[in-house]
């Protein structure tokens, strides 16, 4: 009998981008269009130029908490989260914007959105450009100063220097509930997921959408030294809160290049970083080494399966 050989080969497009990646981008776009959620993608943000860094942003960048200042310098953008890489040559900023776009595709059009732990506001600004009315909260006043300066009077976007769950925040947003909640890489700051979701429900419409993008730990052994929640724990907490789980998308492979990219950038731009920050932050060399070591640690945890990156979407039901 004739032997049949089946060869598994990765097909690529003309630029060498694997078709699986092309399809994954198309998939996100298709979901956006067919669900009527977004007729358009957010306009990409231009990275901050060297001129801008030496102008108004200089003091703001220099005053940010470690390691946000290094991220903001290296990417030239306002995202402090992993990027969703489709191709290894993607810029870190582009990949970060893609991750936000993936999250945004689950928010109803023209929503009133609470961006919880907005950091430097990169995602808040993208959501606002998509036509959402965004309230962005973060307890870090310095991060919000930078966010406000970057947003430059962007309408429909409000930054509040408050912690999620605080009394003050409930007072500020009491009158109008939110249709959407965005939690990008912020869950580690909330020990009690039940309490977090009780607070969400207090501010939510009966049919609000919730989007979480985060690193979750796999298995109880991974909790040692890694302050992350388990994705299954989040799902159980959603269930207890009466919030329906809509989807779970494992993204570990797509976000993993972020860590190597950050380390490459730290290495190739070390001199520029030191020159820029040395005067205001004499410990900048140690800060660079600390971020390098953290990236290495996270990389190992993702590779050995202790950590997994997921986008989890859920919806309140009547
Ligand atoms: C890893 S950063 C993510 C920032 C942003 N979501 C992004 O994707 O660029 C986590 C942010 O959560 C903020 N955070 C910490 N505790 C918080 C709380 N109780 N309420 C809201 N934000 C908090 C931190 O200040 C930090 O800016």
**Would you say domain 66-316 falls under CATH 3.40.50.150?**
yes
Q: What is the pLDDT of residues 70-81, one digit of tens each?
A: 999 999 999 999
Query: What are the b/e assignments for 115-148, b being 16+ CB within 10 Å?
Result: bbbbbbbbbbbbbbbbebbbbbbbebebbbbbbb
Distance set, CA 72 to CA 191, 297, 318 (Å): 27, 21, 41
Whether pTM > 0.85 for this model: the answer is yes
Does the CB atom of residue 140 touch ligand 1 within 6 A?
A: yes
Tell me which residue has its CA closest to atom 1 in ligand 1. 185
HEC assignment per residue over 80-147: CCCCCCCCCCCCHHHHHHHHHHHHHCCCCCCCEEEEECCCCCHHHHHHHHCCCEEEEECCCHHHHHHH
Q: What is the pLDDT of residues 139-195, one digit of tens each?
A: 999 999 999 999 987 777 999 999 999 999 988 877 789 999 999 999 999 999 999
Q: HSE (CB half, 13 Å, CA atoms) of 206?
A: 2
2: CA distance to ligand 1 center in Å? 61
Q: What is the dihedral of CA 244, 249, 251, 254, to 10 degrees?
A: -130
CB contact at 8 A, 217 and 310: no
Does the CB atom of residue 119 touch ligand 1 within 6 A?
A: yes
Does the CB atom of residue 118 touch ligand 1 within 6 A?
A: yes
Lowest model confidence (mean pLDDT) among 22-26, 58-62, 277-281, 293-297:
22-26
Does the CB atom of residue 116 touch ligand 1 within 6 A?
A: yes
Cα 297 from Cα 85, distance rounded (Å): 20
Cα 162 from Cα 179, distance rounded (Å): 20
CB contact at 8 A, 144 and 121: yes
Q: What is the mean pLDDT of residues 112-132?
A: 96
Cα 82 from Cα 85, distance rounded (Å): 9
213: CA distance to ligand 1 center in Å? 12
Q: Among 284, 256, 263, which Cα is nearest to 272's?
A: 284
Positions of E strands within the chain: 112-116, 133-137, 157-160, 178-184, 204-217, 243-250, 307-316
Neighbours of 169 (CB within 10 A): 20
pLDDT of residue 284 exceeding 60: yes
Q: What is the mean pLDDT of residues 281-307?
A: 94
Does the CB atom of residue 143 touch ligand 1 within 6 A?
A: yes
- Tell me, rounded to whole angstroms, the distance of Cα 78 from its chain centroid: 10
Q: What is the pLDDT of residues 233-269, one digit of tens each?
A: 999 999 999 999 999 999 999 999 999 999 999 999 9
């Amino acid at each position: 009998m004739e032997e049949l050989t089946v060869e598994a080969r990765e097909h690529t497009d003309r630029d060498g981008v694997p078709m699986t990646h092309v399809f994954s981008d198309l998939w996100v776009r298709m979901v956006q269009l067919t669900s009527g959620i977004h007729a358009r993608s957010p306009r990409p943000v231009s990275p901050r130029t060297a001129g801008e860094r030496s102008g108004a942003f200089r003091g703001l960048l220099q005053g940010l908490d470690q390691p946000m200042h290094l991220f903001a310098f290296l990417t030239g953008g306002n995202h402090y989260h992993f990027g969703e890489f489709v191709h290894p040559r993607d810029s870190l900023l582009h990949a970060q914007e893609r991750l936000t776009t993936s999250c945004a595709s689950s928010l109803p059009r023209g929503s009133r959105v609470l961006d919880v732990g907005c950091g430097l506001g990169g995602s808040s600004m993208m959501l606002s450009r998509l036509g959402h009315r965004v309230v962005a909260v973060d307890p870090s006043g310095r991060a919000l100063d930078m966010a406000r300066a970057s947003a430059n009077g962007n309408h429909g976007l409000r930054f509040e220097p408050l912690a999620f769950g605080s009394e003050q925040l409930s007072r500020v947003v009491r009158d109008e509930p939110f249709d959407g909640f965005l939690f990008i890489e912020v869950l580690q700051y909330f020990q009690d997921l039940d309490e977090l979701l009780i607070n969400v429900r207090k501010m939510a419409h009966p049919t609000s959408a919730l989007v979480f993008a985060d690193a979750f730990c796999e298995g109880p052994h991974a909790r040692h030294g890694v302050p992350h929640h388990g994705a299954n724990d989040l799902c159980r907490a959603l269930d207890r809160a009466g919030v329906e789980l809509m989807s779970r998308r494992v993204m570990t492979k797509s976000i993993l290049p972020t860590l190597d990219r950050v380390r490459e950038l730290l290495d190739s731009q070390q001199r520029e970083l030191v020159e820029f920050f040395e005067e205001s932050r004499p410990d900048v060399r140690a800060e660079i080494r600390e971020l390098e070591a953290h990236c290495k640690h996270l990389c190992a945890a993702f590779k050995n399966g202790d950590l997994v990156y997921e986008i989890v979407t859920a919806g309140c039901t009547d």
